[in-house]
Amino acid sequence: MTGESNGEKSEEPPIQPKDEIVRKRDFQRAKGFDIQSFMVQSEDEESPELETTEQSDAEDIAVGEIASLFSSGKEDHLAPGAVQTDGTVLHQSEMDSVTDMAVHGEKRLSFGLLIAMVLTWSAIGAIVGTVLPEIPSGLGLFAMGVFGLYLGERWIPNPNMRMLGVTWVIISMKLFYGLALDAWHWGWFDASPIGTSETLGVSLIGLVSLNIFIAQRHDEDAIAAQATLILLLVGSAAGALYGEIGIATMIG
């Protein structure tokens, strides 16, 4: 019996060293798992700074600028239409609808009065030049022309009165041209040594030169246009009287 038991024990296979190494490794292996091993380490990227831009407040054209009820009042002197301590205004106040309508109506009224003044003054000049005798008529036309030039020289430099001053200058020059034609018609140029028609032409060219001088002095195209029209008429008359020589003289 003992021999059989010893034989059975001797039949058990010996433990291989390779299996023992695997068993030790399984024992030493961690039973849990590390979460950090699955995490990807990355450097913190610097977040770009948001650039803040100041947005300009859009102004409503229809409503306009609305004053704040809780303003401190320190910047009231910079508001449009605010009067400074010395009496000046830095920024002109904006016109509302009522003021705009009033200004538009005033301009139309002034334009109507301007047309009426031109017609009235021209009618007076025509009456003075045709009804009165020669000497009073000549003196009256000359006085009316000088008075109109005075008003033009006084009002043209003022931007608000520039149109009125230009109108007075144009009317006055028209009266001077009429006076030159009346003087030729009355026979005042008969005693001229260069001839009656020649004296009239020289007088008209002198008045055109005065007209151009006033236009250049005030840099006004309307006055220069009047001088251009009169010069064309003088050139046409010279061509009718003297033919090619008169036309060439006027062109030169």
Task: Report the C-alpha gap between 161 and 63 in whole angstroms.
Answer: 33
Per-residue pLDDT of 89-139, as tens digits, reads: 666 666 666 666 776 777 777 777 778 877 888 888 888 878 888 888 888
The pLDDT value recorded for residue 230 is 82
| Average pLDDT for the chain | 72
Query: Where are the domains positioned within the chain?
Result: 106-251
The pLDDT value recorded for residue 196 is 80
- Six token digits for residue 48: 């770009």
Task: Report the C-alpha gap between 92 and 105 in whole angstroms.
Answer: 21
The pLDDT value recorded for residue 181 is 83
Instruction: Give 47's contacts (C-beta < 8 A, 6+ positions apart).
Output: none
Residue 18: how many CA atoms within 13 Å on its side-chain side? 0
Answer yes or no: are the C-beta atoms of 250 and 239 closer than 8 Å: yes
Per-residue pLDDT of 47-57, as tens digits, reads: 545 444 455 55
The pLDDT value recorded for residue 182 is 83
- Pick left, alpha or beta for residue 132 (phi over 0 → left; psi -120 to 50 → alpha; otherwise beta): beta
215, 221, 223, 228 alpha-carbon torsion, rounded to 10°: 100
The pLDDT value recorded for residue 42 is 54
Per-residue pLDDT of 81-103, as tens digits, reads: 566 767 676 666 666 666 667 76
The pLDDT value recorded for residue 30 is 54
